[in-house]
């Protein structure tokens, strides 16, 4: 199941308590203090893993606790450090820390009520690590308190508690190209044509309910990661249809390929369809609306050449005519997308 949001509670392990003990051996009547230090608590560590594409694994749980440190022992034996807890998250996860109103207010999960969220970290590259909740430091045993004037200390420290946080996780897919357009504009068909992705394809709106990723190989050394975003409709920014929950994924893309159905059986004209999606993107984020964009007039296999010329003239904007079914015009579109995403064209590479 695709999940791009999760809320979890993390806590570092408590540090082990220091030991209060004295050396007791035969023929040594006055053994000194020999209490060892407690081990540090383990930490909760976030690790970006490129093999993951959803937050569903981490969302199965609510509370994540690292192991506590082991208390110190006799004979000046230090306690063992608690094991770290590694939480693997998809690359592209944004982590927010929830800030509470008051300790007395709790929500349905029994956690403190949220007042706001503040940015905590962002995991962009596979292998990137960050400590979400550090373990507590182990307490000192009484051996550490021995001095020339206090040779029989009866003092030891308790281990410190680990850090704890409520974290809100938000996944934003990392892709070179984001496919956007009204429902049934042909995004899933195009993705299936250019990659090995197998999105559901059907002749009704909102066939695609979750983002899909595919990799298209332009040649031996060039590839593009393409994301098919669920269809948007007018009012998506305010929750209409599938709402704006998937618009966040477009923010990561380097270039947007805007797919337009040039032969709609019903609904808005190609130009109106384009303006509808552009308006939704602008209302969601000006930064999103300013991303590089390539327009593709899809389904040219359903119109004649004369009809296509008329459509292009009425559309009034530069666009690539393509067919996700026959493959016509797709190579040219992908070359342009690669050039915009990387700044390198095929001609430049040849030289």
pLDDT digits (tens, 9 = 90+) for 165-223: 999 998 877 778 888 888 778 888 888 888 875 655 545 444 445 667 788 888 877 88
What pTM did the predictor assign?
0.63
Mean pLDDT of 139-159: 91
Token pair recorded at residue 345: 């064209």
How many whole angstroms separate alpha carbon 198 and alpha carbon 166?
36
Mean pLDDT over the full length of the chain: 82
Residue among 182, 196, 185 at smallest CA distance from 298: 185
- Among the candidates 124, 142, 171, a domain finishes at 171
Are 213 and 192 in contact by the 8 Å Cβ rule? The answer is no
Total number of domains constituting the chain: 2
221 three-state secondary structure? coil
CB neighbours (10 Å) of residue 179?
A: 27
* Residue 51: domain span: 5-171
Task: Choose the final residue of a domain: 152, 171, 190.
Answer: 171
Same domain, 186 and 322: yes
Give the end of a domain, one of 118, 148, 171: 171
Same domain, yes or no: 144 and 230 = no
Please report, for the domain that includes residue 289, its CATH number.
3.40.50.300
Most confident by average pLDDT, 66-70, 72-76, 243-247, 266-270: 66-70
With a pLDDT cut of 90, the percent of the chain lying above it is 42
Q: What is the mean predicted confidence (pLDDT) over 222-231?
A: 79
Burial 326-336 (b: 16+ CB within 10 A, else e): eeebbeebbbb
Q: How far is CA 10 from the centre of its chain?
A: 17
Q: Choose among 8, 44, 20: nearest CA to 136.
A: 44
Whether residues 22 and 167 share a domain: the answer is yes
State whether 17 and 154 are in the same domain. Answer: yes
Looking at the structure, do residues 204 and 166 belong to the same domain, yes or no? no
Same domain, 200 and 341: yes
- SS3 state of residue 247: helix
CB atoms closer than 10 angstroms to residue 194: 24
Contact 178, 230 (CB under 8 A): no
Query: Is 167 found in the same domain as 76?
Result: yes
The neighbour count for residue 104, using CB atoms within 10 Å, is 8
Tell me, what CATH number does 80's domain have?
2.70.210.12
Given a cut of 70, whether residue 332 has pLDDT beyond it is yes
**195 lies in the same domain as 165:** no
Q: Are residues 70 and 94 in the same domain?
A: yes
pLDDT at 134: 97
pLDDT one-digit tens code per residue, 97-139: 988 655 555 554 555 554 588 889 989 888 999 999 999 999 9
pLDDT tens profile 272-283: 889 988 888 888
The answer to whether residues 315 and 187 belong to one domain is yes
b/e burial code for range 132-158 (CB count within 10 A of at least 16 → b)? bbbbbbbbbbbbbbbeeeeeebeebbb
Same-domain check for residues 26 and 156: yes
Structure tokens at 225: 């990661």
CA distance 18 to 139: 5
DSSP sequence for 105-160? -B-TTSSBPEEEEEEEEEE-STT-EEEEEPPPPPPPPGGGG--SS-SS-----PPP
Q: If pLDDT is split at 50, 70 and 90, which confidence band does 53 have?
A: confident
> Residues 294, 221: one domain?
yes
- The predicted pLDDT at position 128 comes to 93
> Which of the two residues, 108 and 254, has the higher pLDDT score?
254
């Amino acid at each position: 199941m695709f999940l791009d949001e999760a809320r979890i509670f993390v806590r570092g392990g408590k540090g082990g308590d220091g030991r209060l003990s004295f050396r007791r051996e035969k023929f040594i009547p006055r053994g000194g203090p020999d209490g060892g230090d407690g081990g540090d608590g383990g930490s909760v560590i976030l690790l970006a893993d490129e093999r993951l594409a959803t937050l569903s694994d981490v969302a199965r749980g609510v509370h994540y606790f690292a192991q506590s440190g082991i208390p110190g022992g006799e004979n000046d034996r230090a306690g063992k450090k608690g094991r770290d807890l590694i939480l693997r998250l998809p690359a592209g996860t944004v982590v927010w820390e929830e800030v509470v109103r008051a300790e007395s207010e709790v929500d349905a999960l029994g956690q403190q009520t949220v007042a706001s969220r503040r940015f905590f970290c962002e995991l962009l590259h596979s292998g990137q690590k960050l400590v979400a909740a550090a373990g507590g430091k182990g307490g000192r045993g009484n051996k550490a308190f021995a001095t020339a004037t206090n040779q029989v200390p009866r003092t030891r420290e308790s281990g410190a508690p680990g850090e704890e946080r409520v974290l809100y996780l938000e996944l934003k897919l990392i892709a070179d190209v984001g496919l956007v357009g009204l429902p049934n504009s042909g995004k899933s068909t195009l993705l299936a044509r250019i990659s090995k992705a197998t999105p559901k394809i059907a002749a009704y709106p909102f066939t695609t309910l979750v983002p899909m990723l595919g990799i298209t190989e332009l040649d031996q050394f060039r590839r593009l990661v393409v994301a098919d975003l669920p269809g948007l409709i007018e009012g998506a920014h305010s929750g209409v249809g599938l709402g704006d929950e998937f618009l966040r994924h477009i923010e990561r893309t380097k270039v947007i390929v805007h797919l337009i159905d040039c032969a709609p059986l019903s609904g808005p004209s190609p130009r109106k369809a384009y303006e509808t999606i552009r308006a939704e993107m602008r209302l969601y984020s000006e930064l999103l609306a300013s991303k590089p964009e390539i327009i593709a007039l899809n389904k040219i296999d359903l119109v004649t050449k004369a009809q296509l010329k008329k459509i292009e003239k009425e559309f009034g904007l530069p666009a690539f005519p393509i067919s996700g079914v026959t493959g016509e015009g797709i190579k040219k579109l992908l070359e342009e997308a690669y050039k915009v995403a990387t700044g390198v064209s095929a001609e430049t590479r040849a030289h």
